[in-house]
Amino acid sequence: MARHSARAIRQRLESLSAGGVTDLPRAHRQPVARMPPAAAREAAPKPAVATGSRDHALDVIRQEVAVCRRCESLACARQNTVFGAGAATARICFVGEAPGADEDASGLPFVGPAGQLLTKIIEACTLTRDEVYILNVLKCRPPDNRQPLPEEIANCREYFERQLQVIAPEFICCLGTTAAQALLQTTEPIGKLRGRWFTHGTAQVLCTYHPSYLLRTPGAKRHVWDDMKLLMARMGVEL
Ligand code: URA
């Protein structure tokens, strides 16, 4: 066990070093400001809390991802890795599947048509993209937007799990089958997973349909709105 841990630590340090990381943040255990319910949020000044340690910890992982070649064919084809965006102290993370063409070109998650719909969903919840955190299971674009392969998800798991560990959100919203099944390590279909509560570490997890699916199936929007109402009610966000 101890030998295994030592090896894992050595591998992590070698990977960090390959990514050009020369220093590491201290573990942080300070309380961080959390987003209060809607009314208070509007009145309150920005939290006077150092987000630096989380930002730094995320940057360390971001640099590792930027040089990752675990999925050689994805690494060869990518223009950019797409790490994630938003507040390191967010109460809620939205987890998607993988970058598409627009995300690959920009390096930012959910900026194409599905992303614009996600932005509308977030704003309908009275939130902004800046106060949530958005990430994908895969950090590289699969060719022709095909679904991620199990081995690609396995290769990226370390990154998205560490990302979530650093952010430590109270809530996670999985967008679509790939995110829901990867995060919850299940094979249940999204139609069965949505609208129910799960846990992942200390986070409460709700799954819903992916915005891309909504673009193809507008009739499913009402289910997503039902899921968002459930989520916002539990977060204490008034709609
Ligand atoms: N679909 C996703 O799952 N993620 C993105 O970033 C864009 C589209």
Backbone angles phi, psi at 147, to 5 degrees: -65, 145
Contacts of 136 (CB under 8 A, 6+ apart): 82, 84, 95, 96, 97, 98, 99, 103, 109, 160, 179
**Residue 76 CA to ligand 1 centre (angstroms):** 19
**Residue 35 CA to ligand 1 centre (angstroms):** 25
Confidence of residue 23 (pLDDT cuts 50, 70, 90): low
**Residue 179 CA to ligand 1 centre (angstroms):** 10
Confidence of residue 52 (pLDDT cuts 50, 70, 90): confident
Helix H or strand E encompassing 175: strand 171-175
**Residue 99 CA to ligand 1 centre (angstroms):** 5
Confidence of residue 51 (pLDDT cuts 50, 70, 90): confident
| pLDDT value, residue 30 | 35
Ligand 1 close to Cβ of residue 97 (< 6 A): yes
Given ligand 1 and candidates 97, 173, 208, which is best to mutate, with the most ligand atoms within 8 Å of its CB? Answer: 97
Average pLDDT score over residue span 207-234: 98
Helix H or strand E encompassing 199: strand 197-200
* Index of the ligand 1 atom closest to the CA of residue 114: 8
Confidence of residue 8 (pLDDT cuts 50, 70, 90): very low
* Index of the ligand 1 atom closest to the CA of residue 134: 6
Average pLDDT score over residue span 139-167: 98
* Higher-confidence position of 46 and 107: 107
Ligand 1 close to Cβ of residue 109 (< 6 A): yes
- The whole model's pTM is what? 0.82
What are the C-alpha distances in Å from 114 to residues 77, 102, 143, 172? 22, 10, 17, 18
| pLDDT value, residue 37 | 53
Per domain, the residue ranges of the chain are 50-235
With b meaning 16 or more CB within 10 Å and e meaning fewer, what string describes 142-162? beeeeebeeebbebbebbbeb
| pLDDT value, residue 159 | 98
Confidence of residue 198 (pLDDT cuts 50, 70, 90): very high
Residue 155 is encoded by which pair of tokens? Answer: 């290769």
Ligand 1 close to Cβ of residue 102 (< 6 A): no
Ligand 1 close to Cβ of residue 96 (< 6 A): yes
Average pLDDT score over residue span 173-196: 98
Residue percentage of the chain with pLDDT more than 70: 79
- Find the angle CA(224)-CA(167)-CA(196) to the nearest 5 degrees: 30
Average pLDDT score over residue span 156-183: 98
Return d(Cα 76, Cα 216) in angstroms, integer. Answer: 30
Supply the DSSP symbol for 96: E
Ligand 1 close to Cβ of residue 115 (< 6 A): yes
With b meaning 16 or more CB within 10 Å and e meaning fewer, what string describes 24-39? eeeeeeeeeeebeebe
Confidence of residue 49 (pLDDT cuts 50, 70, 90): very low
**Residue 57 CA to ligand 1 centre (angstroms):** 23
Strand partners, 71: none
Given ligand 1 and candidates 136, 177, 178, which is best to mutate, with the most ligand atoms within 8 Å of its CB? Answer: 136
Mean pLDDT of the chain: 87
Ligand 1 close to Cβ of residue 152 (< 6 A): no
Return d(Cα 38, Cα 216) in angstroms, integer. Answer: 31
Average pLDDT score over residue span 60-70: 98
* Index of the ligand 1 atom closest to the CA of residue 211: 1
Question: Right CATH number for 50-235 from 3.90.1570.10, 3.40.50.300, 3.40.470.10, 3.55.50.30?
Answer: 3.40.470.10
Ligand 1 close to Cβ of residue 211 (< 6 A): no
Helix H or strand E encompassing 174: strand 171-175
